[in-house]
Homo-oligomer: A and B are copies of this chain.
């Protein structure tokens, strides 16, 4: 089923608003087996909307419009669609009652101009909007289908799931299925290298990697008849990359770490230099972290390393703040001070200055003490100051996950 998207409105056209509605709809519709073949953004003018529909129907049989259903005079999508199909707009008392009850629920007065939203193309179906005043509309004529959705993302999304997705699910015969895998502690190209041969081996699967600072995600989809192949792929994929898979794309590693700590009745404390509190902040952001997270120290200066973490000044001078030894001491002293089961010491050079040939910008030492067993790793991360700090935290979280899980 070929689908085209038509966004209406100057805010998107002039770049004030990024067209995330279009990417949302495209992704959702493609995910269930529809095919997006064309996208447009047009001016909120009658002729532009009608022209846009004409162009869209040259590519697709179903057009989803985005926006232009509001109460103000520049909201013209209904009128533009009516003009294209040459069909009158009629007033729908039921819709108006729905709008009124929405305002009553919000305990607000009903503005007069909202009456405009009670008009629909003659013969169209109303798609109830529970999050706003503008209902969606569904209209079919001459073998062409148009679905009108409102622009505010929360309204568009809920209307899509409630009314539009069921329609597409009914119409699209070849149903898609998909699985996703979230990887940590491995770069995109390194992961890709390890599984590149699977692309040929599983010809009916669509294997798509997505990379962010924290994760490499693989989304793998196919049609229902190849579910066996998807299962076989999963087995091989897990045998190759299993140690890096933390769950599906819904999984957040911070949540997993806090959950593991709770499950194993362990406490944690952190000491950070270059990451400056980013690590503790990630753990504290998990609701309920208070039952496992004891404290965090951001010992950014030499002085604070000595006074707060009792780092030996001679060792600090001998090895330098960014060294395996000091990372070790940070984690070890912290464990002694706090009696935390898991303690972390992170020290590195985030740049842009402070690097030397021996210790370049991006060099980071991560020490993790788990029940008196010390693991120390070193890395050289690339990117600017912010990226190096984010990569440091991403890697530390992965190591925490791995070591705590192995307990």
Contacts and interface: CB of A to CB of B under 8 A. Distances in A.
Interface of A: 12-20, 22-28, 30, 36-43, 48, 51, 55, 58, 208, 210, 270, 272, 274-281, 283-285, 287-290, 293-301, 303-304, 307-308, 337-338, 351-353, 385-386, 389
Contacts of A40: 38-41
Nearest to A351: B287
A155 to B, nearest CB: 18
Contacts of A275: 281, 284
A41 B38 contact: yes
Question: How many copies make up the complex?
Answer: 2
A200 to B, nearest CB: 17
Given A16-B27, A272-B277, A277-B278, 16 more contacts: A15-B28, A19-B22, A38-B41, A275-B281, A276-B280, A276-B283, A276-B285, A276-B293, A277-B280, A284-B298, A287-B351, A294-B301, A295-B304, A296-B300, A297-B308, A298-B298
A298 B300 contact: no
A296 B277 contact: yes
A284 B14 CA distance: 36
Contacts of A289: 276, 300
B19 A36 contact: no
B299 A295 contact: yes
Given A277-B278, A298-B298, A353 B14 contact: no
A28 B15 CA distance: 8
A272 B284 CA distance: 11
A278 to B, nearest CB: 4
Contact of A14 (B26, B277, B303, B351): B26
Contacts of A23: 12, 15-19
B26 A352 contact: no
9 contacts: A15-B26, A15-B27, A38-B41, A38-B48, A39-B41, A276-B296, A277-B296, A295-B298, A308-B308
Nearest to A30: B14
Q: Which of A17, A37, A208, A210 has its CB near the most chain B CB atoms (within 10 A)?
A: A37
A15 B299 CA distance: 43
A386 B284 CA distance: 10
A29 to B, nearest CB: 8
B39 A27 contact: no
Nearest to A58: B51
A195 to B, nearest CB: 19
A170 B284 CA distance: 53
Given A26-B13, A37-B43, A38-B41, A284 B295 contact: no
A48 B40 CA distance: 13
Contacts of A270: 298
Contacts of A284: 274-277, 298, 300, 389
Contacts of A12: 23, 39
